[in-house]
Structure 1
Amino acid sequence: MIANVQRESRLGAPRLAPCRPRFKRLESDEPPAKCLRLSETPPDSGLLPSPGSPHPPTPHSGTPQHQGPTCLGNYLLLPAGDREHVSRALNLHTGEELQCKVFSLKHYQKQIEAYVQLPCHPNITGVVEVIQGESKVYVFFEKDYGDMHSYVRSCKRLGEEEAAKLFKQIISAVSHCHQHAVVLGDLKLRKFVFSDKERTRLRVESLEDSHIMKGDDDALSDKHGCPAYVSPEILNTTGTYSGRSADVWSLGVMLFTLLVGRYPFHDADPSTLFSKIRRGQYCIPDHISPKARCLIRSLLRKEPSERLTAEEILLHPWFEAASQPGYADPNTSSTDQLVPDIPQNYDDIDSFFC
C-alpha cells in the first residue's frame, strides 16, 4: 500500500527498488484554496506540445480541472495550457516545479500501481509526492521539457547518432518494464518526454495505462492505442495477443519515424491504414544505414514470435556503430519528411474496432 511509505528525498538518492514517494494527507480538499493574489499566469509554451496535438485519454477524465491558480499544501497549482488533466505545481518553499495529476480516491491506487511496483529507473517518470484529500488524490511527478513527437516534427528527422542515443534510452525503459512484468501498451513517441532542457535525456511520461502481468504471461485483449503504432496481431485477432511483442512492434514504428520523419504505415482513412499494417509492407529509404535497416526489420515483423525482445534490442550492433563519427549523416533538408499531425480523435483506436 502506498499509504505506508515513509517520507524520503527523491533527489540524489540511490535508485533502488521500489521508488518511495513522499505521502501526505489533507484534512480537506473540497475545494483547494484559491490563490487570490494571482490573476493569471504566463503560458509555458516551450514545455508543451503544439496546439491541436492529440493527447492520450486519461483514467481521471471526470475530475474537475483547476481554472486558475490554487494552493494545495506547499504547492501552487497553475493551469498547464492545453495539457488536459495536468497542472503545473510550484513548491512555494523551494521553487521546484513539478507536474500534478488528480485522481479519485477510490481508484488512484490502481492507476498508479505500476509506478509503485517498478524499481526506480532514470528513463521512467517517478512519483515525487502523493497528497491525499477526502475524495481526491494529488499525485506529483517530475517536470518535463517537451515530448519526442513534437521534437521529431521540429527536426523533420534525426541523424542516426542522435537517434541511437535517444532510442537506446527508450529501449532501456521498455526493457526495464518488461523485466518487471509491466507491459506499456499504447507506445508512441508522444509517450516519451525530455528530462533536461538540452533534450538529451528521455523518460516514459506516463504508466497509467500500462498493464501489470502475472509472471511470464503477457496475454492481453485490450485494443486501445494510437492507430499508427498498432501491431498486426491486434488487428487480426479476436482473442489475446502478446503484450511485450506488441510493444516491440510499436518500438519499430518509433525507430522508423525517428530516422525517416514519417510513419511506416500512414493514411487518413483508418480502414486503409489498418490494411497497410495487416500486410506489413513498408519501404525504408536509401539513406538509412544497413545496420539501422536490420534493426527496423527485426522489430516490424508480422509474426510476433520473430521480433526481437526489448532486452535483445539493446545488444544490437547499430547502437555502437551509430556512435562512431561520420557513420551516417543523412540529408535532413527535405520538407516533406515531417511526422504528420493526427486528428484529435485519432488517439482512441477503440472507435475503429467492431
Structure 2
Amino acid sequence: MVEVLLGKYEVGRLLGCGAFAKVYYARNIKDGQSVAIKVINKKKLSGTTLMSNIKREITIMRRLHHPSIVRLFEVLASKSKIYFILELVKGGELFAKVAKGRFSEDLARNYFGQLLSAIAYCHSRGVYHRDLKPENLLLDENGNLKVSDFGLSALKLDDNTNNHLLQTLCGTPAYVAPEILAKKGYDGAKVDIWSCGIILYVLTAGYLPFNDPNLMAMYKKIYKGEYRCPKWMSSDLKRLLSRLLDTNPATRFSVDQIIRDPWLAKAKDQDSTFHLTVSDETSHQLDTAGSSSTSSSSCSLNAFDLISFSSGLDLSGLFHDPFNPIVHSERFLSAEPASKILDQIERAASSENAKVKRNKDAHAVDLEGPKAHFVARLEITPLTDQLLVVEAKTKAGDSASFTLFWTNKIRPHLSGLLYEPPPLTITHAAADASIVL
C-alpha cells in the first residue's frame, strides 16, 4: 500500500538515511512531479542545537533559486516530524563518480564552473554554505551539478556591526579552512572558496590534498598549507589551486579572480554547460546558460513566507528548542510604501517616548526605547513588487523589554499598514495533524 502524505504526495522507496533524517522518493499526486522528501524526526533533535539549524536551513533555502542548487519546494510539519519537499536529483552524489577515478581537467572544469556559479549566487545573497564537499554535490539525470545540504550554512551578519566574522566551528575535517582551525573568526565567503579548492583538487587528483590517519596531524598540514600536486596536473591548474588553497584568507582568490583565471577561462572555448559573467560590483553573480537571473531586491513569496506572517497561525511551537533559543524578531507584511511605513513607526515611537534614528539607508531605522532599555533595528525589505516585509530585531539592551514594547506600544499604531495573507488550510492526518507551510 502506497503511503500518502497530506493527500498531496505518494511516498515511495527510501533513498537515504542519516542520524536525524530519512529521504524518500515521492510523487506529487496533483501534477505527477517526482520529488524527494526529507523527513526529520523532531524527538531525535530534542536536547541538541540542531533545531535552530533546521530553521536557518529553511530560511536560507527558500531564498535560493538557481539551476545548480537543489530547490526547496515547500515545508510540511507535524507534532513529531518536519518534512522538506525537495527537488529530486536522480544522478546521485558527485563523490560516487570521482571515487571511480579522477576526472580529466576538461570534465573537472565543467563541474567546477557549475559549482562556482552556485556559490557566487549564494554569496551575492549573503549565504555561506560552510560544508562544501563532493558528498554534498549531486548530479541530475543530464549530469549537471546541484549543490545540496545547507544544514551548516550561515547568513551574512549585519554590515553595521563591527564584527563581520563568523565564529562557529563547523565543516568536514578534510575540507575545513585553516582560519576556522585558528578560532579567530572567519569570512564565510573565503571559507567556501577554500572548500572549492579542495573539491577541485579531489576531482583532478582523485584523492585529498590534506590527509592523515591522525586528525591533529591532518589539521597541522591544513594550517601550514602543506600539500603536493600530482605530476599530471597542468601548470595553469597548479597555479589556480595554489591561490584557492592559500592559507591567508586575505590573499586567497575571490570569485572575481577565479573567473578571470586562465585555467577556467579555457571553458569559454569549449562546449560547456555553464556560463560565467562578471558584474561591475564586488558581489558577482554567475548564472547558468539559459537561466533567468533573479533580482536581488525582490524575491518570490512562497507559502512558507506567507504563513510566517499570518496572525492566525503561530508555528513557533513546532520549532521550540529550550537548549538553543533563537533571537526573537518582530515582523509583518505591508503593501504600503516604505516611506509611509517609516513615518508611521516614527510617529508611534514619539507618542510612546521612544526615539527613531534614521541613517543613510532609506529602508532602515534604529528604535531606542524609553530610558534606553533597548535599541532595535527596523528594516524594510521588498519581497514582491507589491509587498514589503518589516522586521525589527534587538540590536542592544534587553530583548524582552523590546518585545513587550513593540507588541503593546508600537504594533497597535500600525494596524492600518498590515497586510494579512489569505487564510491557510490546516489538514489533519490520522493521529498526527500536519500543517502545510
Deviation sequence 1:3-30 (CA, Å, 0-9, x none): xxxxxxxxxxxxxxxxxxxxxxxxxxxx
Q: Distance in 1 between matches of 2:258 and 2:72?
A: 28
- 1 or 2 for the larger relative contact order (CA 8 Å, sep ≥6)? 1
Who is 1:25 aligned against? Answer: none
Structure 2 counterparts to residues 180-259 of structure 1, below 5 A: 180-195=125-140, 197-199=141-143, 201-215=144-158, 218-235=164-181, 237-259=182-204
Give the superposition deviation at 1:101. 1.9
Whether the 8 Å contact between 2:57 and 2:153 is mirrored in structure 1 is no
Whether the 8 Å contact between 1:161 and 1:323 is mirrored in structure 2 is no
Who is 1:179 aligned against? Answer: 124
Residues 323, 152 of structure 1: CA spacing in aligned structure 2 closer, same or farther, 3 A cutoff? farther
Give the superposition deviation at 1:266. 0.8
Give the superposition deviation at 1:211. 0.0
Whether the 8 Å contact between 1:147 and 1:193 is mirrored in structure 2 is yes
Who is 2:39 aligned against? Answer: 102
Structure 2 counterparts to residues 59-138 of structure 1, below 5 A: 69=3, 71-84=5-18, 85=21, 86-103=23-40, 109-118=55-64, 120-133=65-78, 136-138=81-83
Give the superposition deviation at 1:310. 2.3
How large is the Cα RMSD of the aligned pairs?
2.3
Residues 227, 140 of structure 1: CA spacing in aligned structure 2 closer, same or farther, 3 A cutoff? same
Matched residue SS, 1:285: coil
Structure 2 residue aligned with 1:167, among 112, 116, 129? Answer: 112
Residues 81, 102 of structure 1: CA spacing in aligned structure 2 closer, same or farther, 3 A cutoff? closer
Aligned residues: 254
Give the superposition deviation at 1:198. 3.3
Give the superposition deviation at 1:297. 0.7
Letter in 2 for 1:226: T
Q: Distance in 2 between matches of 1:117 and 1:95?
A: 25
Matched residue SS, 2:25: strand
Q: Distance in 2 between matches of 1:131 and 1:71?
A: 10
Q: Distance in 2 between matches of 1:123 and 1:276?
A: 32
Whether the 8 Å contact between 1:181 and 1:215 is mirrored in structure 2 is no
Task: Give 1 or 2: higher strand fraction.
Answer: 2
Matched residue SS, 2:62: helix
Give the superposition deviation at 1:151. 1.1
Structure 2 counterparts to residues 44-59 of structure 1, below 5 A: none
Give the superposition deviation at 1:187. 1.3
Residues 311, 121 of structure 1: CA spacing in aligned structure 2 closer, same or farther, 3 A cutoff? farther
Letter in 2 for 1:202: L
Give the superposition deviation at 1:157. 0.4
Give the superposition deviation at 1:300. 0.5
Is 1:139 matched up with 2:71? no
Who is 1:47 aligned against? Answer: none
Give the superposition deviation at 1:320. 3.0
Give the superposition deviation at 1:80. 2.0
Residues 311, 206 of structure 1: CA spacing in aligned structure 2 closer, same or farther, 3 A cutoff? farther
Greater Cα offset, 267-276 or 254-263? 267-276
Give the superposition deviation at 1:218. 4.8
| Percentage of matched positions with identical amino acids | 30
Give the superposition deviation at 1:116. 2.1
Who is 1:151 aligned against? Answer: 97
Structure 2 residue aligned with 1:265, among 202, 210, 215? Answer: 210
Whether the 8 Å contact between 1:175 and 1:311 is mirrored in structure 2 is no
Letter in 1 for 2:123: H
Matched residue SS, 1:123: coil
TM-score by length of structure 2 reads 0.54
Residues 109, 82 of structure 1: CA spacing in aligned structure 2 closer, same or farther, 3 A cutoff? closer
Matched residue SS, 2:109: helix
Residues 295, 209 of structure 1: CA spacing in aligned structure 2 closer, same or farther, 3 A cutoff? same
Deviation sequence 1:239-294 (CA, Å, 0-9, x none): 31122111111111111110000000111221111121122111111211111111
Deviation sequence 1:22-68 (CA, Å, 0-9, x none): xxxxxxxxxxxxxxx25xxxxxxxxxxxxxxxxxxxxxxxxxxxxxx
Whether the 8 Å contact between 1:89 and 1:97 is mirrored in structure 2 is yes
Q: Distance in 1 between matches of 2:158 and 2:114?
A: 25
Structure 2 unpaired stretches of 5+: 44-50, 271-437
Deviation sequence 1:129-148 (CA, Å, 0-9, x none): 33344564422111112111
Structure 1 unpaired stretches of 5+: 1-36, 39-68, 326-354
Who is 2:263 aligned against? Answer: 318
Moved over 6 A (4+): none
Structure 2 residue aligned with 1:308, among 246, 253, 262? Answer: 253
